[in-house]
Amino acid sequence: MRLLTAALLFVALSVSAHHSPAMYDQQQDIRLEGVVGEFEWADPHVYIRVESEDEGGESVMWLVEGRPPSAMSKLGWSRDSLAIGEQVTVVANPGRNANRKIALGLTVIKEDGALLNILRPGEEGAAGTSPTTFVADELSGNWETRTSLQVLSRYGQPEISWSLTDKGLAAVESYDEPSMSPSNNCVPQLPPWIMLFPAIKRIEIGEEVTMIRSDEAPPRTVYMNLDSHEGAPYTNQGHSIGWWEDDVLVVDTAHFAEHRTGNARGLPSGRQRHHIERFELNADRNGLTYTSRVEDSEYLLEPMIGVLDLIYRPDLPFVRVSCDPEIARRYLGE
């Protein structure tokens, strides 16, 4: 039962970092045959409008929700994958409200028979694997997070996974995702949260500045030529300094602005937040180990410590599409 709970949580969080898929009946599949009316390649969700016919032969426009562009790209999608007027067959989970023509996309079959996967269980992992093992010379490059259900569930259920202060517990208990999630206003999450999802991260090592890029947030600048945070402003991403301990990159980040879900789902972070990350190539040099330690005495009684594995994937593109506020707020209040 614990494993099933973690798996369901993974599906819920990986489908969307900003709203729950509970509005869809994920136990039912429907088949929509029609033409593409619109293809929105936007963050935080890709959307496909499909003009189909109902049982009475009347034209019906369905809105099919996909995943973020970064996740779709990993599965072979691009902004040019579909054309307006193109004939498609979409398999999807319908909305629970039968009066609304919305659906959660699973697969798309094009007129030439080409299959594009979105979220079909059992196929996602195969689409993200590579027959080639790539060896990295250094940390610079594209890295794919291999998300652990155990790790992901800890950040998705902070009230049972971490030692929280009374203020932290009260914040989690009062959290209402549809109305309180910063993602509704395109405010990005913080690391390690943004490191958890199975998309490509890009690291660019420099002598004075190192950049860490993810699809879910603006690029993070790590100052390799500074040894303190003194004088730095308090911002959403904080202020990062870095150094090397042998071959391990250590990133120290402080001066975070307050964030409603900065530490985990429903768990805020404050100006006292202090985050230490370590990036270390594994022995085979085909992956790296990412270790995170977060201290925030306002909300945490003990540090939050997590470990993830990332795989070196120079064959996969890094894709970042700026968040579209209209799309992020599409289902607010519904």
Give per-residue pLDDT as tens, 233-248.
Answer: 999 999 999 999 999 9
Domain extent for 222: 141-312
Among the residue ranges 151-165, 299-313, 314-328, the one predicted with the least confidence is 314-328
Is 119 in the same domain as 176?
no
Pair 75, 161 in one domain: no
**pLDDT higher than threshold 60 for residue 16:** no
In this prediction, residues 147-161 reach a mean pLDDT of 83
User: Average pLDDT, whole number, for the chain?
Assistant: 87
pLDDT, average across residues 199-226:
93
The answer to whether position 80 is within a domain reads: yes
Nearest to 104 by CA among 52, 63, 59: 63
d(C-alpha 140, C-alpha 211), whole Å: 9
Instruction: Work out the end-to-end distance of the chain between its first and last CA atoms, rounded to an integer number of angstroms.
Output: 30
**71, 94, 127: which is the final residue of a domain?**
127
pLDDT for res 98: 85
Q: What's the one-letter identity of residue 183? A: S
Q: Is residue 152 domain-shared with residue 260, that is, in the same domain?
A: yes
Q: What is the pLDDT of residues 306-321, one digit of tens each?
A: 999 999 999 888 888 7
The pLDDT value given to residue 58: 87
Nearest to 54 by CA among 99, 106, 1: 99
Has residue 97 been placed in a domain?
Answer: yes
158 and 301 assigned to the same domain: yes
If one counts the domains in the chain, the total is 2
Residue 278 forms part of a structural domain: yes
**pLDDT at 147 (0 to 100):** 66
Is the pLDDT assigned to residue 280 strictly greater than 60?
yes
Tell which of 70, 99, 127 closes a domain: 127
Same domain, 156 and 82: no
Mean pLDDT value of segment 283-287? 95
Rounded mean pLDDT, 11-25: 59
Report residue 156's pLDDT band, with 50, 70 and 90 as the boundaries: confident
Judgement on whether residues 202 and 122 belong to the same structural domain of the protein: no
Q: What is the secondary structure of 163-231 as a DSSP string?
A: -B-HHHHHHHHT--HHHH-GGGGTPPP-TTGGGSSSSEEEEE--SSEEEEEETTEEEEEEETT-S--TT
Nearest partner of 194 among 220, 164, 171, judged by Cα: 220
Decide if 326 is inside a domain: no
**CATH assignment of the domain containing 250:** 2.40.128
Q: What percent of the chain has pLDDT over 90?
A: 59
CA 316 – CA 74 distance, rounded (Å): 7
* pLDDT for 274 beyond 90: yes
Q: Which pLDDT score is estimated for 179?
A: 85
- pLDDT for 91-130, tens place per residue? 999 998 888 899 999 999 999 989 898 875 433 333 445 6
Q: Is the pLDDT of residue 4 over 60?
A: no
Query: Is there a single domain that holds both residue 74 and residue 113?
Result: yes
Q: What is the pLDDT of residue 129?
A: 54
The per-residue pLDDT for range 59-81, each reduced to its tens digit, is: 999 999 998 887 788 788 989 99
Residue 1 has pLDDT above 60, yes or no: no
Question: Is pLDDT above 90 for 57?
Answer: no
Q: Which pLDDT band, with edges at 50, 70 and 90, does 184 fall under? A: confident
On whether both 268 and 123 belong to a single domain, the answer is no
Whether 79 is covered by a domain: the verdict is: yes
Question: 184 and 303 share a domain?
Answer: yes
